[in-house]
Amino acid sequence: MLRATIKSLLARKLRLLLSATAVVLGVAFVVGAFVTTDTLGSTFEDVFSDVNEQIAVDVRGAETTEGAANSDGGGRNPVPESAVAAVRAVPGVAEVQPNVANAQFNQVSLVGKDGKALSTNGAPFIAANWYASERLNLQRVIEGREPRGPTEVLLDPRLAERAGVGVGDTTTVFLPTGQHRMEVVGLVRYSDGKDTLAGESYVLFETAAAQKLLNVDGYTNLVIAAADGVSEQELRDRVAAALPPGLEAITGTQLADEQASDIEEGLGFLNTFLLVFASVALFVGAFIIFNTFSILVAQRTRELALMRALGASKGQVTRSVLFEAVVVGGIASAIGLGAGIGVAIGLQALFSAFGAGLPSASPVLQLRTVIAAFAVGIVITAVAALLPARRAAKVPPIAAMRDAATPDRSLLRQTIGGAVLTVAGAVFMTLGLTGSGLTVLGIGTVLAFLGIALLSPLVSKPVTGGLGLLFARSLPGRLGRENSLRNPRRTASTAAALMIGLALVAAVGVLGSSLKDSVRAIASTAIAADFIISPTAVGIDDAAYRAIENTPGVDTVTGLRGARAVMGGEEEFPTAVPASALGTTIALTETAGSATDLGPGTTLISDDVAEERGLSVGSTIPVTWEDNTTETLRVAAVYRANELLGSYLVDASAATHFTQQLYFAGLVKLSEGTDAATARSALDQAIAPYPNIELQDQSEFVATASQQIDQLVQFFQLLLALSVGIAILGIVNTLALSVLERTRELGLLRAVGMSRRQVKRMVRVESVLVSVFGGLLGLIVGVVFGVALQRALVEEGVTELSFPVAQLAGYLVLAAVAGVLAAWVPARRAAKLNVLQAVAAD
């Protein structure tokens, strides 16, 4: 039996090629996801290991409050300068260096060659103090000298090149304390010759200047080297005993592990994100595998029946088909494993193209990735082939004696199963969209797709039959229509793969369109200003704010500040606004209380927060600010959710507790009777000295936000295009197998006078009908999913439902084009069949 199975497999190797290709692509994406995150993780582990190699102990402030701490250091007390002397006096301490660094990486930037602020997306900008230490600082000044004053700065060569400056030049640096003109006095590079360790950029100041410029009262942390013969743990214990309250000491190893763990946590999201798309590709590929083996089993009815007649048991037949599937899955997994390295490199280029540059490094292939590749490929293939294998075992031995095809089965059981799965999927998706988590949402989506795929044969005949009437004028068109109607199960399962891919693409399109319309609605209802000022990097400082405020024709400027705070036990991001802005530059719709009551000691909350937390006008909320001070705020009013401002508004006076004193936006109201064009020109001149600020009217603000949404949608759709491509391969595979299955029929058609061109057209019509059916089904399902996503995100600000009609129609046209392309090779093969050999075929 094994020899017979191997011979059968070798005889049909070309028929299984496209099916294997689907598995190859899915496995490659899985491998690419793991290799990408493993490579990044390894890169950052090496970085932190190198940086902390000589650090025996690190002294830092204790976390300020539970919930306010964050991974970038913004939630810790500063280390007082007096701690340096105390640590230096500890026995076993060889060297102590104070470190001053920016709390958040996106709070630093420089002016680029184009005169605009460099983007803070991608690899971080690190602003810190410079200290000369052969032991604790791995960077060396390679040109120029160290900074010695408040207006001097060191840059790494790569950043200097991006900014178009060299030693002796001046540049504008954007920092948490605003915009500063600085002289570049030197360039630094790591002792091993690298400009950076992982793509980061360095802006380094003299220590006292760094404290002032970065708004750090004291030091961020102290790094300590141990004397010979003193262990990390021993020195940590000695240092910890000498520290004042509010500080803690950890070993250098623990510091490196924490930093690597933070990166690993961030990469975990990236890994999950990529694996979701890999799962989609494999899910689509499973339909193709199922369809391929179903057709092969149908074509081998007499062969399998003969095996049964010669004594093969049902179990042997089942294992024979599953063995073929396992071999196909194993070969595809091996190829996918190699292709996954290329996918990882491609993903890195894709992320860079969308502005999220990742550090380059040699790909890391772990044993876990190899095991996952083969496990996923083989299991998916075997599971997809299980039902056809069981069906093969049920072929009666008597079928070997007749030339009839196996009769089509009733759709009753399949319809019932499909209805149950669809309902279950809808329930799980509802739970997932209402807060039960992405796992529940994912399970619901899979169940819904399986259910819809099982139900699709019910509509296959009427839909493809109706579409086929468009081609019914010619004989090839009528025959192509009849071929698509001949086996509704096959047509539906082939179209289901395309349906899944297009459904997800359409759902993302509906969500993106709804997001853009929601932004328009927010801009028109929440912003009562004539112009919006927004920073392209870091934030708007007081000097820029005053320049805008003093511009002729400007009546009012409202600056918006934000910060982290623990409000009622939860981390929130309140926005500080002056009460005078409400009703002038900011439009609020109160549902309870009066927004004019906003003042010191009060807060305004959105209606969704009020409902979720059971709050109302007069309720009190305990607050812990970023500077670790606490107070209790009274709810003065409840307003309809406003995504521009967030869920909490506090009085502008509360901003004194914020670490970040820059404005994240400014709203400009012109004086009555002022010409907008004249005021625009004056405002452009006012902000010209501030290259990190952008002036927009409402339409421009909406256009910019829409462009960002479009980029995000395109990124998702580009990743989902893999599943659509796999689905098209499935159509090619089905048509190719269908041509083989109908060899004798095609020969007879040619024998009675059908030309090769007519045969090609017949196959193309069948392919187009299958593709358009899958496209229609996918668009309908995708629109339903998109509506569900929009409704679930109403409280997050996606208040408007919009359908990108032209885009959806374009997808349907592309589905038809894909059908024509998918039929290219099978149609040519059908047209080239030798008539006599085809007529004589069994």
77 near 138, Cβ under 8 Å?
A: no
> For residue 471, is it within any domain?
yes
Residue 284 falls inside a structural domain? no
Hey, which residues does 2 pair with through a beta bridge?
none
Residue 811, both tokens: 């997808």
Note the pLDDT of residue 9.
Answer: 57
Considering only residues 291 and 93, tell me which one the structure prediction assigns the higher pLDDT. 93
Cα dist. 761→178, 462, 774, 815, 827 in Å? 68, 22, 20, 17, 8
How far CA 797 is from CA of 248, 431, 521, in Å, comes to 41, 20, 10
Is 409 inside any structural domain? Answer: no
Q: Are strands 221-226 and 93-99 parallel, antiparallel or unpaired?
A: antiparallel
Instruction: Please say which residue of 691, 723, 753 terminates a domain.
Output: 691
pLDDT band at 75; cut points 50, 70, 90: low
Place of tokens 């689907």: 22
Whole-number Cα distances in Å, 232 to 46, 186, 319: 19, 34, 60
Helix, coil or strand: residue 622: strand
Q: Which residues contact 266 (CB under 8 A, 6 or more apart)?
A: none
User: How many domains is the chain partitioned into structurally?
Assistant: 3
Whether 324 maps to a domain, the answer reads: no
Is the separation of the CB atoms in 132 and 368 below 8 Å? no
Q: Look at the alpha carbons of 61, 65, 66, 67 in this order and tell me if their dihedral is positive or negative.
A: negative
Region of residue 829 (phi > 0: left; psi between -120 and 50: alpha; otherwise: beta): alpha
Confidence tier at 71 by pLDDT (50, 70, 90)? very low
Token representation of residue 621: 């909320």
Instruction: Answer whether 692's CB lies under 8 Å from 109's CB.
Output: yes
Where is the domain boundary, 691, 715, 734? 691
Give Cβ neighbours of residue 817 (< 8 Å, ≥ 6 apart): none
Residue 423 lies in a domain: no
* CA atoms of 678 and 676, how far apart (whole Å): 5
673, 828, 834: which is closest to 759 by C-alpha? 828
pLDDT digits (tens, 9 = 90+) for 191-249: 878 887 777 889 999 999 999 999 888 999 999 999 988 999 999 999 999 998 889 99
Q: Is the pLDDT of residue 73 over 50?
A: no
Same-domain check for residues 586 and 674: yes
Instruction: Tell whether 483 is covered by a domain.
Output: yes
pTM: 0.74
| Same domain, residue pair 608 and 709 | no
Final residue belonging to a domain, choices 262, 286, 302: 262
Give φ, ψ of 30 to 5 degrees: -60, -50
How confident is the model over 628-676, as pLDDT tens digits? 889 999 999 999 877 777 889 999 999 988 877 899 999 999 998 889 9
CA distance linking residue 647 with residue 607, whole number of Å: 8
Question: Which of 358-367, 653-662, 698-707 is predicted least confidently?
Answer: 358-367
Q: Verify that 793 and 814 share a domain, yes or no.
A: yes
User: What's the chain's average pLDDT?
Assistant: 83
Distance CA(654)–CA(329), nearest Å, equals 62
pLDDT score, position 157: 93
Residue 414 DSSP symbol: H
Residues 805 and 782 in one domain: yes
Least confident of 300-309, 465-474, 644-653: 300-309
For 596-693, where are the alpha helices, taking DSSP H only? 607-613, 676-687
Q: Which tokens sit at 786? A: 């998109």
Nearest partner of 202 among 142, 255, 258, judged by Cα: 142
Per-residue pLDDT tens digits for 575-598? 999 988 888 888 888 899 988 899
Helix (H) or strand (E) holding 694: strand 693-697
Instruction: Give the lowest-confidence range in 343-357, 667-681, 755-769, 792-806.
Output: 343-357
Q: Does residue 615 share a domain with residue 507?
A: no
Q: Does any domain span residue 708?
A: yes
Pairwise pLDDT comparison (55 vs 22), residue with the higher score: 55
Give 68's pLDDT tier (boundaries 50, 70, 90): very low
357 in helix, strand or coil? coil
Q: CA-based diameter of the chain, in Å?
A: 103
Could you tell me if residue 328 is inside a domain? no
554 and 684 inside one domain:
yes
Residue 240 belongs to what domain range? 56-262
Shared-domain flag, residues 706 and 686: no
Q: Are residues 500 and 542 in the same domain?
A: no
Amino acid, res. 678: T
pLDDT above 90: residue 570:
no
* pLDDT for the residue numbered 294: 73
Q: Is the pLDDT of residue 91 over 90?
A: yes
Q: Estimate the share of the chain in helix, then strand, then coil, as percent rounded to the nearest 5.
A: 55, 15, 25
Q: Are 728 and 288 in contact (CB under 8 A)?
A: no
Domain check: are 759 and 817 in the same one?
Answer: yes
Are 79 and 201 contained in the same domain? yes
How many Cβ atoms sit within 10 Å of the Cβ of residue 199?
17
State pLDDT tens for residues 140-187.
999 999 999 999 999 999 999 999 999 999 999 999 888 999 999 999
**DSSP for 719-777?**
HHHHHHHHHHHHHHHHHHHHHHHTHHHHHHHHHTT--HHHHHHHHHHHHHHHHHHHHHH
Q: State the Cα torsion 131-134-139-145 to the nearest 10°.
A: 60
The model's pLDDT over 400-447, given as tens digits with 9 standing for 90+, comes to 555 444 455 667 788 888 899 889 988 888 888 776 676 788 888 888
Question: How many CB atoms within 10 Å of residue 407?
Answer: 6
Q: Which residue, chain included where needed, has tokens 């000044």?
A: 141
**SS3 label, residue 526:** helix
Note whether 687 and 544 are within 8 A (CB): yes
Provide the pLDDT for residue 404.
Answer: 46
Rounded to an integer, what distance in angstroms lies between the CA atom of residue 213 and that of residue 153?
Answer: 11
- Closest by Cα among 104, 27, 636 to 342: 27
Question: Measured in Å, how far apart are the chain's first and last C-alpha atoms?
Answer: 23
Amino acid at 775: G
Residues 125 and 185 reside in one and the same domain: yes
Nearest to 457 by CA among 407, 413, 394: 413
Q: Mind listing the pLDDT tens digit for each residue in 366-412?
A: 888 899 889 888 888 888 778 777 777 776 776 555 544 445 566 77
- Residue 502: name the closest of 291, 286, 720 by CA: 720
Query: Residues 6 or more apart from 751 whose CB is under 8 A from it?
Result: 835, 839
565 shares its domain with 685: yes
